[in-house]
Protein backbone atom coordinates (compact mmCIF):
# COMPACT_ATOMS: atom_id res chain seq x y z
CA UNK A 1 0.00 0.00 0.00
CA UNK A 2 1.21 3.51 -0.75
CA UNK A 3 -0.19 6.63 0.89
CA UNK A 4 0.99 10.20 0.95
CA UNK A 5 2.67 11.27 4.15
CA UNK A 6 1.64 14.41 5.97
CA UNK A 7 5.06 15.98 5.32
CA UNK A 8 4.76 15.40 1.57
CA UNK A 9 6.85 12.20 1.40
CA UNK A 10 5.49 8.88 0.19
CA UNK A 11 5.50 5.84 2.45
CA UNK A 12 4.48 2.17 2.13
CA UNK A 13 1.72 1.37 4.60
CA UNK A 14 1.03 -2.16 5.81
CA UNK A 15 -2.52 -3.41 5.17
CA UNK A 16 -2.90 -4.94 8.63
CA UNK A 17 -1.82 -1.70 10.29
CA UNK A 18 -4.40 0.21 8.28
CA UNK A 19 -7.04 -2.27 9.33
CA UNK A 20 -6.00 -1.84 12.95
CA UNK A 21 -6.04 1.95 12.60
CA UNK A 22 -9.61 1.88 11.23
CA UNK A 23 -10.77 -0.30 14.14
CA UNK A 24 -9.25 2.04 16.74
CA UNK A 25 -10.66 5.10 14.97
CA UNK A 26 -14.16 3.61 14.89
CA UNK A 27 -14.11 2.28 18.46
CA UNK A 28 -12.11 5.17 19.99
CA UNK A 29 -10.69 2.53 22.30
CA UNK A 30 -7.65 0.24 22.00
CA UNK A 31 -9.22 -2.51 24.10
CA UNK A 32 -12.45 -2.59 22.05
CA UNK A 33 -10.46 -2.60 18.82
CA UNK A 34 -8.46 -5.58 20.10
CA UNK A 35 -11.67 -7.50 20.83
CA UNK A 36 -13.07 -6.72 17.39
CA UNK A 37 -9.93 -7.94 15.63
CA UNK A 38 -9.38 -10.93 17.98
CA UNK A 39 -5.88 -9.79 18.98
CA UNK A 40 -4.31 -8.57 22.21
CA UNK A 41 -4.27 -4.91 23.24
CA UNK A 42 -0.42 -4.78 23.12
CA UNK A 43 -0.66 -5.89 19.49
CA UNK A 44 -2.99 -2.98 18.75
CA UNK A 45 -0.67 -0.56 20.49
CA UNK A 46 2.33 -1.91 18.59
CA UNK A 47 0.56 -1.66 15.22
CA UNK A 48 -0.54 1.93 15.80
CA UNK A 49 2.92 2.95 16.99
CA UNK A 50 4.51 1.39 13.89
CA UNK A 51 1.99 3.16 11.65
CA UNK A 52 2.73 6.51 13.30
CA UNK A 53 6.45 5.93 12.74
CA UNK A 54 5.88 5.05 9.07
CA UNK A 55 3.85 8.20 8.50
CA UNK A 56 5.92 10.34 10.84
CA UNK A 57 2.82 11.80 12.46
CA UNK A 58 0.73 11.35 15.58
CA UNK A 59 -2.60 9.67 14.94
CA UNK A 60 -4.28 9.50 18.36
CA UNK A 61 -4.38 11.56 21.52
CA UNK A 62 -4.64 9.08 24.38
CA UNK A 63 -6.62 9.73 27.57
CA UNK A 64 -7.47 7.41 30.44
CA UNK A 65 -10.90 6.52 29.02
CA UNK A 66 -10.59 6.82 25.24
CA UNK A 67 -8.47 7.94 22.33
CA UNK A 68 -9.20 10.84 20.04
CA UNK A 69 -8.10 11.18 16.43
CA UNK A 70 -5.72 13.91 15.43
CA UNK A 71 -6.26 15.93 12.29
CA UNK A 72 -3.76 13.67 10.52
CA UNK A 73 -5.79 10.62 11.56
CA UNK A 74 -9.00 12.12 10.17
CA UNK A 75 -7.31 12.60 6.79
CA UNK A 76 -5.82 9.11 6.85
CA UNK A 77 -9.13 7.46 7.80
CA UNK A 78 -10.80 8.60 4.60
CA UNK A 79 -8.10 6.99 2.44
CA UNK A 80 -7.53 3.99 4.69
CA UNK A 81 -11.12 2.84 4.29
CA UNK A 82 -10.82 3.06 0.51
CA UNK A 83 -7.51 1.18 0.50
CA UNK A 84 -8.83 -1.62 2.72
CA UNK A 85 -12.03 -1.88 0.70
CA UNK A 86 -10.11 -2.11 -2.58
CA UNK A 87 -7.74 -4.68 -1.08
CA UNK A 88 -10.65 -6.83 0.10
CA UNK A 89 -12.33 -6.56 -3.31
CA UNK A 90 -9.10 -7.60 -5.05
CA UNK A 91 -8.64 -10.57 -2.71
CA UNK A 92 -12.24 -11.65 -3.31
CA UNK A 93 -11.89 -11.43 -7.09
CA UNK A 94 -8.59 -13.32 -7.07
CA UNK A 95 -10.05 -16.02 -4.82
CA UNK A 96 -13.06 -16.34 -7.13
CA UNK A 97 -10.80 -16.61 -10.18
CA UNK A 98 -8.56 -19.23 -8.59
CA UNK A 99 -11.60 -21.29 -7.59
CA UNK A 100 -12.42 -21.60 -11.29
CA UNK A 101 -10.54 -23.18 -14.14
CA UNK A 102 -9.01 -20.86 -16.67
CA UNK A 103 -6.46 -20.99 -19.46
CA UNK A 104 -6.55 -21.72 -23.17
CA UNK A 105 -7.49 -24.74 -25.26
CA UNK A 106 -6.45 -25.15 -28.89
CA UNK A 107 -8.56 -27.67 -30.76
CA UNK A 108 -8.76 -29.06 -34.27
CA UNK A 109 -12.02 -30.45 -35.64
CA UNK A 110 -12.84 -32.12 -38.90
CA UNK A 111 -15.48 -30.33 -40.93
CA UNK A 112 -18.51 -32.46 -40.07
CA UNK A 113 -17.76 -32.46 -36.34
CA UNK A 114 -16.77 -28.80 -36.20
CA UNK A 115 -19.83 -27.49 -38.03
CA UNK A 116 -22.59 -29.85 -36.90
CA UNK A 117 -21.56 -31.73 -33.74
CA UNK A 118 -19.16 -29.57 -31.73
CA UNK A 119 -21.32 -26.43 -31.15
CA UNK A 120 -23.74 -28.25 -28.86
CA UNK A 121 -20.83 -29.56 -26.76
CA UNK A 122 -19.08 -26.19 -26.64
CA UNK A 123 -22.19 -24.51 -25.30
CA UNK A 124 -22.24 -26.74 -22.23
CA UNK A 125 -18.46 -26.56 -21.80
CA UNK A 126 -18.42 -22.74 -21.86
CA UNK A 127 -21.25 -22.58 -19.35
CA UNK A 128 -19.22 -24.74 -16.96
CA UNK A 129 -15.81 -23.16 -17.64
CA UNK A 130 -16.40 -19.57 -18.82
CA UNK A 131 -12.78 -18.51 -18.21
CA UNK A 132 -11.26 -21.04 -20.61
CA UNK A 133 -10.44 -19.44 -23.95
CA UNK A 134 -11.14 -21.72 -26.91
CA UNK A 135 -9.50 -21.69 -30.32
CA UNK A 136 -11.02 -24.11 -32.83
CA UNK A 137 -9.48 -24.84 -36.24
CA UNK A 138 -11.69 -26.56 -38.80
CA UNK A 139 -9.60 -28.77 -41.10
CA UNK A 140 -9.51 -32.32 -42.43
CA UNK A 141 -8.45 -35.26 -40.28
CA UNK A 142 -4.98 -35.58 -41.81
CA UNK A 143 -4.15 -31.94 -41.10
CA UNK A 144 -5.44 -32.27 -37.53
CA UNK A 145 -3.12 -35.20 -36.82
CA UNK A 146 -0.13 -33.27 -38.16
CA UNK A 147 -1.08 -30.27 -35.99
CA UNK A 148 -1.32 -32.48 -32.89
CA UNK A 149 2.13 -33.96 -33.51
CA UNK A 150 3.58 -30.49 -34.12
CA UNK A 151 1.91 -29.33 -30.86
CA UNK A 152 0.07 -26.59 -32.74
CA UNK A 153 -3.18 -27.83 -31.16
CA UNK A 154 -3.88 -29.68 -27.90
CA UNK A 155 -6.59 -32.09 -29.01
CA UNK A 156 -8.41 -33.10 -32.18
CA UNK A 157 -11.85 -34.47 -33.03
CA UNK A 158 -11.64 -36.56 -36.17
CA UNK A 159 -13.86 -38.76 -38.36
CA UNK A 160 -11.71 -41.85 -38.83
CA UNK A 161 -9.56 -44.20 -36.75
CA UNK A 162 -5.84 -43.89 -37.36
CA UNK A 163 -2.76 -45.92 -36.60
CA UNK A 164 0.05 -43.65 -35.44
CA UNK A 165 2.60 -44.40 -32.72
CA UNK A 166 2.50 -40.76 -31.58
CA UNK A 167 -1.29 -40.43 -31.31
CA UNK A 168 -3.94 -41.85 -28.96
CA UNK A 169 -7.49 -42.11 -30.29
CA UNK A 170 -10.74 -43.03 -28.58
CA UNK A 171 -14.29 -43.10 -29.97
CA UNK A 172 -16.82 -40.66 -28.50
CA UNK A 173 -19.83 -40.66 -30.87
CA UNK A 174 -21.36 -42.99 -33.45
CA UNK A 175 -22.35 -41.55 -36.83
CA UNK A 176 -24.07 -42.92 -39.93
CA UNK A 177 -23.24 -42.05 -43.53
CA UNK A 178 -26.06 -41.92 -46.07
CA UNK A 179 -26.33 -41.27 -49.79
CA UNK A 180 -28.02 -37.94 -50.51
CA UNK A 181 -29.75 -36.80 -53.69
CA UNK A 182 -32.13 -34.09 -54.81
CA UNK A 183 -35.83 -35.00 -54.54
CA UNK A 184 -36.91 -36.91 -57.65
CA UNK A 185 -33.34 -37.88 -58.60
CA UNK A 186 -34.21 -41.48 -57.78
CA UNK A 187 -37.67 -42.97 -57.68
CA UNK A 188 -39.65 -41.53 -54.79
CA UNK A 189 -40.66 -45.08 -53.90
CA UNK A 190 -37.07 -46.05 -53.17
CA UNK A 191 -35.66 -45.85 -49.66
CA UNK A 192 -32.63 -47.99 -50.51
CA UNK A 193 -30.21 -47.62 -53.42
CA UNK A 194 -28.22 -50.49 -54.87
CA UNK A 195 -24.47 -50.43 -55.43
CA UNK A 196 -25.18 -50.62 -59.16
CA UNK A 197 -27.17 -47.39 -58.93
CA UNK A 198 -24.28 -45.80 -57.05
CA UNK A 199 -21.89 -46.84 -59.84
CA UNK A 200 -24.18 -45.34 -62.48
CA UNK A 201 -24.61 -42.00 -60.67
CA UNK A 202 -22.28 -38.96 -60.83
CA UNK A 203 -20.62 -38.79 -57.44
CA UNK A 204 -19.53 -35.69 -55.56
CA UNK A 205 -16.80 -36.54 -53.05
CA UNK A 206 -15.01 -34.76 -50.26
CA UNK A 207 -11.35 -33.88 -50.84
CA UNK A 208 -8.45 -36.28 -50.33
CA UNK A 209 -7.54 -36.51 -46.63
CA UNK A 210 -11.15 -36.18 -45.53
CA UNK A 211 -12.31 -38.65 -42.89
CA UNK A 212 -15.69 -39.03 -44.60
CA UNK A 213 -14.08 -39.94 -47.93
CA UNK A 214 -11.76 -42.44 -46.26
CA UNK A 215 -14.64 -44.21 -44.48
CA UNK A 216 -16.78 -44.33 -47.66
CA UNK A 217 -13.87 -45.78 -49.63
CA UNK A 218 -13.34 -48.46 -46.98
CA UNK A 219 -16.98 -49.56 -47.09
CA UNK A 220 -17.13 -49.56 -50.90
CA UNK A 221 -13.81 -51.41 -51.16
CA UNK A 222 -15.14 -54.11 -48.83
CA UNK A 223 -18.16 -54.38 -51.13
CA UNK A 224 -15.92 -54.85 -54.17
CA UNK A 225 -15.81 -51.27 -55.50
CA UNK A 226 -12.86 -48.90 -55.82
CA UNK A 227 -12.80 -45.24 -56.84
CA UNK A 228 -11.94 -46.37 -60.37
CA UNK A 229 -15.34 -48.06 -60.54
CA UNK A 230 -17.16 -44.82 -59.65
CA UNK A 231 -18.12 -41.74 -61.65
CA UNK A 232 -16.50 -39.07 -59.48
CA UNK A 233 -17.40 -35.78 -61.13
CA UNK A 234 -16.45 -33.32 -58.43
CA UNK A 235 -14.39 -33.01 -55.23
CA UNK A 236 -15.37 -30.35 -52.71
CA UNK A 237 -13.84 -29.36 -49.38
CA UNK A 238 -17.03 -28.21 -47.69
CA UNK A 239 -20.10 -30.07 -46.52
CA UNK A 240 -22.27 -27.05 -47.33
CA UNK A 241 -20.84 -26.92 -50.86
CA UNK A 242 -21.59 -30.62 -51.33
CA UNK A 243 -25.16 -30.19 -50.15
CA UNK A 244 -25.68 -27.23 -52.48
CA UNK A 245 -24.26 -29.16 -55.45
CA UNK A 246 -26.45 -32.18 -54.75
CA UNK A 247 -29.50 -29.98 -54.22
CA UNK A 248 -28.84 -28.45 -57.66
CA UNK A 249 -28.96 -31.92 -59.23
CA UNK A 250 -25.25 -32.09 -60.13
CA UNK A 251 -24.88 -35.54 -58.62
CA UNK A 252 -25.19 -37.57 -55.43
CA UNK A 253 -22.90 -37.80 -52.43
CA UNK A 254 -22.19 -39.67 -49.23
CA UNK A 255 -22.56 -37.50 -46.16
CA UNK A 256 -23.16 -37.69 -42.42
CA UNK A 257 -26.79 -38.09 -41.45
CA UNK A 258 -26.19 -35.46 -38.76
CA UNK A 259 -25.55 -32.76 -41.36
CA UNK A 260 -28.80 -32.83 -43.34
CA UNK A 261 -31.54 -32.61 -40.72
CA UNK A 262 -32.58 -29.11 -41.79
CA UNK A 263 -32.56 -29.93 -45.52
CA UNK A 264 -34.63 -33.07 -44.94
CA UNK A 265 -37.19 -31.12 -42.94
CA UNK A 266 -37.45 -28.53 -45.72
CA UNK A 267 -37.67 -31.20 -48.42
CA UNK A 268 -34.48 -30.02 -50.16
CA UNK A 269 -32.60 -33.33 -49.96
CA UNK A 270 -33.44 -36.98 -49.60
CA UNK A 271 -31.33 -39.56 -47.80
CA UNK A 272 -30.96 -43.18 -48.91
CA UNK A 273 -29.39 -46.26 -47.41
CA UNK A 274 -27.38 -48.66 -49.58
CA UNK A 275 -28.92 -52.11 -49.94
CA UNK A 276 -27.16 -54.60 -47.66
CA UNK A 277 -24.67 -51.96 -46.57
CA UNK A 278 -24.89 -49.96 -43.36
CA UNK A 279 -22.26 -47.22 -43.37
CA UNK A 280 -21.60 -46.53 -39.70
CA UNK A 281 -18.53 -45.01 -38.16
CA UNK A 282 -17.29 -43.47 -34.93
CA UNK A 283 -16.04 -39.98 -34.34
CA UNK A 284 -12.76 -39.96 -32.42
CA UNK A 285 -10.86 -37.89 -29.90
CA UNK A 286 -7.17 -37.66 -30.80
CA UNK A 287 -4.28 -36.44 -28.64
CA UNK A 288 -0.55 -36.99 -28.23
CA UNK A 289 0.58 -40.28 -26.73
CA UNK A 290 2.93 -40.29 -23.71
CA UNK A 291 2.33 -36.60 -23.20
CA UNK A 292 0.94 -34.85 -20.12
CA UNK A 293 -2.22 -33.08 -21.28
CA UNK A 294 -2.96 -29.51 -20.25
CA UNK A 295 -5.54 -29.16 -17.48
CA UNK A 296 -7.88 -27.40 -19.93
CA UNK A 297 -7.63 -30.37 -22.31
CA UNK A 298 -8.44 -32.78 -19.48
CA UNK A 299 -11.47 -30.70 -18.52
CA UNK A 300 -12.75 -30.63 -22.11
CA UNK A 301 -12.31 -34.39 -22.54
CA UNK A 302 -14.00 -35.10 -19.20
CA UNK A 303 -16.93 -32.87 -20.19
CA UNK A 304 -17.23 -34.52 -23.62
CA UNK A 305 -17.17 -38.02 -22.12
CA UNK A 306 -19.71 -37.01 -19.49
CA UNK A 307 -22.11 -35.59 -22.08
CA UNK A 308 -21.85 -38.73 -24.20
CA UNK A 309 -22.45 -40.94 -21.17
CA UNK A 310 -25.59 -38.95 -20.35
CA UNK A 311 -26.80 -39.34 -23.94
CA UNK A 312 -26.23 -43.09 -23.87
CA UNK A 313 -28.15 -43.34 -20.60
CA UNK A 314 -31.10 -41.41 -22.06
CA UNK A 315 -31.11 -43.59 -25.19
CA UNK A 316 -31.41 -46.84 -23.23
CA UNK A 317 -34.07 -45.58 -20.81
CA UNK A 318 -37.55 -47.05 -21.50
CA UNK A 319 -40.19 -44.71 -22.81
CA UNK A 320 -42.81 -43.48 -20.34
CA UNK A 321 -45.43 -46.17 -19.88
CA UNK A 322 -43.23 -48.81 -21.47
CA UNK A 323 -43.49 -51.21 -18.56
CA UNK A 324 -44.28 -54.44 -20.42
CA UNK A 325 -43.33 -57.57 -18.57
CA UNK A 326 -41.72 -60.44 -20.43
- What is the pLDDT at residue 75? 93
212 and 136, same structural domain? yes
Cβ(154)–Cβ(106) below 8 Å: yes
242 and 115, same structural domain? yes
Q: Is residue 177 a part of any domain in this protein?
A: yes
Question: Quick one: CA dihedral 202, 204, 207, 209, positive or negative?
Answer: negative
Going by C-alpha positions, the residue among 66, 145, 57, 129 that lies closest to residue 306 is: 129
Assign 6 a pLDDT band (cuts: 50, 70, 90). Answer: very low
Assign 99 a pLDDT band (cuts: 50, 70, 90). Answer: low
**Per residue in 245-257, pLDDT tens?**
999 999 999 999 9
123 and 92, same structural domain? no
- What is the pLDDT at residue 248? 94
Assign 3 a pLDDT band (cuts: 50, 70, 90). Answer: very low
Residues 135 and 99: their CA atoms lie apart, in Å, by 23
Cβ(40)–Cβ(31) below 8 Å: no
- What is the pLDDT at residue 314? 60
135 and 37, same structural domain? no
The pLDDT of residue 26 is above 60: yes
Q: Is residue 252 a part of any domain in this protein?
A: yes
43 and 12, same structural domain? yes
How many alpha carbons fall within 13 Å on the CB side of residue 80?
A: 24
**Which of 48, 63, 98 represents a domain boundary (last residue)?**
98
Question: Quick one: CA dihedral 48, 52, 53, 58, positive or negative?
Answer: negative
Mean predicted confidence (pLDDT) in 60-88 = 88
Give the Cα-Cα-Cα angle 258, 262, 263 (nearest 5 degrees).
100
Q: Is residue 278 a part of any domain in this protein?
A: yes
Q: Which domain holds residue 50?
A: 2-98
126 and 267, same structural domain? yes
Q: Write the CATH number for 15.
A: 1.10.10.10
Phi-psi region for residue 290, left (φ > 0), alpha (ψ -120 to 50) or beta? left
Give the count of domains, the chain. Answer: 2
**Per residue in 256-268, pLDDT tens?**
998 998 999 999 9
**Per residue in 103-149, pLDDT tens?**
899 999 988 888 888 888 888 888 888 888 999 999 888 899 999 98
Phi, psi at 76, each rounded to 5°: -65, -40
161 and 13, same structural domain? no
Q: Is residue 299 a part of any domain in this protein?
A: no
Residues 220 and 205: their CA atoms lie apart, in Å, by 13
215 and 111, same structural domain? yes
188 and 166, same structural domain? yes
Q: Is residue 64 a part of any domain in this protein?
A: yes
Could you tell me which residues come within 8 angstroms of residue 230 by beta carbon, excluding any fewer than 6 positions away? 198, 199, 203, 220
Assign 15 a pLDDT band (cuts: 50, 70, 90). Answer: confident
First to last CA, the chain: 76
- What is the pLDDT at residue 90? 82
Q: Is residue 306 a part of any domain in this protein?
A: no
123 and 64, same structural domain? no
Q: Where are the alpha helices (DSSP H) in the chain?
A: 15-27, 30-37, 41-55, 71-98, 111-112, 118-128, 141-149, 195-200, 211-222, 239-247, 261-266, 295-316
- What is the pLDDT at residue 100? 62
**Per residue in 146-184, pLDDT tens?**
999 888 999 999 988 888 998 999 999 888 999 999 999
231 and 265, same structural domain? yes
Phi, psi at 185, each rounded to 5°: -65, -45
- What is the pLDDT at residue 323? 46
Q: Is residue 34 a part of any domain in this protein?
A: yes
Residues 300 and 172: their CA atoms lie apart, in Å, by 13
- What is the pLDDT at residue 95? 66
Cβ(167)–Cβ(286) below 8 Å: yes
118 and 74, same structural domain? no
15-19, 123-127, 308-312: least confident range: 308-312
Q: Is residue 241 a part of any domain in this protein?
A: yes
Q: Write the CATH number for 225.
A: 3.40.190.290
47 vs 192, residue with greater confidence: 47
**Per residue in 190-216, pLDDT tens?**
778 899 999 999 999 988 888 888 889
**Which of 76, 98, 120 represents a domain boundary (last residue)?**
98
Amino acid sequence: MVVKKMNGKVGHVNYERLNTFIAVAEKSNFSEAAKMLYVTQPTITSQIKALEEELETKLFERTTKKVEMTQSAKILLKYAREIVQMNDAARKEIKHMESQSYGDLRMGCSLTIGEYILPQFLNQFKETYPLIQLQVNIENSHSILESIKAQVIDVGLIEKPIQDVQICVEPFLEDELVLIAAPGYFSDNDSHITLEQVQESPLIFREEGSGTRSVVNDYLRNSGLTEDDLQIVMELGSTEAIKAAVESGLGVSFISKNTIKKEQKLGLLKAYSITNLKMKRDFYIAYRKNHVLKSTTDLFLDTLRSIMKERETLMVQPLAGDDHKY
